Structure formats: C-alpha cells, structure tokens
Amino acid sequence: MIVYGVALLAVCYLLGQSVGELLGQWLGIHANVGGVGFAMTLLILANQWLHKRRWLTSEMEQGILFWSNLYIPVIVAMSATQNVSAALTGGVLAVLAGVIPTALAISALPLLAKMARSTVNKTPEA
C-alpha cells in the first residue's frame, strides 16, 4: 500500500508540473510557473479528499510521508535557487519583491518568539 502513496504523490507532481507549464505558456513565459506549488496543493487536496472518504490507509500515508520528507525539501530548495537567479536577472522590481517580504518575515521573528514564550509560560504544569 505504500506504493499507492508514492503513486498519489507522482500523479500530483505530474499534474502540478503540467499546470505550471500551461500557465507559463499562457503568460507568454517559456518556463514552469508554480508547478511545485500546484503539485503540493493537489497533494494536500487529494490527501484530504481520500481521508474524508476513509480511503487513505496508514500505509498510503507512510508512502506520502516518506517522499515528502526526502523529496519536497529538495524540490523547494531547487526552485528557490532558480527564483533567486531569475530575480537577479529580472531587474530591481523582482529583487525588491523578494527582499521586502523576507525582511518583513525576519523582523517578525522577535514578536513571534515573544508570543511563543508567553504561551509556554501560561501552560499549566501537570
């Protein structure tokens, strides 16, 4: 049954890549636009759909988790590398579109850490 989980992941990946390619063609860009994101979204939706119908066995989930632990971080890292190189050659606006959200996210870390500490301190001890 682990094979079914891997098959589900493969189908979602292929469909996501196809949608990304079609979107790139539609936008007039000769590149895949968001294929990995579409694939991950399809996997989440398929996972929820199968789970609601109780068709998703624990073995299938193990197959999905196995590949998600190995595969998805590698693909995300590869996509991030491509995005950075494209942004650097794409001009100032493309660079700012990456730098500004990153700076905002980093500046929010102290606030998130403070909120986490206050939540931990409020947790009753057993």
The values of phi and psi at residue 28, to 5°, are: 80, 15
- Choose between 88 and 30: higher pLDDT: 30
For 92-105, what is each residue's pLDDT tens digit? 877 787 789 999 99
Q: Give this prediction's pTM.
A: 0.55
Could you tell me the pLDDT band of residue 110, with boundaries at 50, 70 and 90?
very high
The pLDDT of residue 103: 94
The pLDDT of residue 7: 84
Burial pattern 49-77, b for ≥16 Cβ within 10 A else e, equals ebeeeeebeeebbebbeebeeeebeeeee
* 71, pLDDT greater than 90: no
The pLDDT of residue 105: 92
CA–CA distances in Å: residue 12 to residues 15, 25, 56: 5, 20, 15
Three-point CA angle 22, 24, 25, nearest 5°: 65
The pLDDT of residue 14: 92
Contact present, 93 and 85 (Cβ < 8 Å): no
The number of helices, as runs of H, and strands, as runs of E, in the chain is 4, 0
Tell me the average pLDDT of the chain.
81
Contact present, 23 and 34 (Cβ < 8 Å): yes
- Between CA 89 and CA 101 the distance in angstroms is 19
For 28-68, what is each residue's pLDDT tens digit? 888 888 888 898 899 889 888 888 998 888 887 887 777 77
- Choose between 88 and 22: higher pLDDT: 22
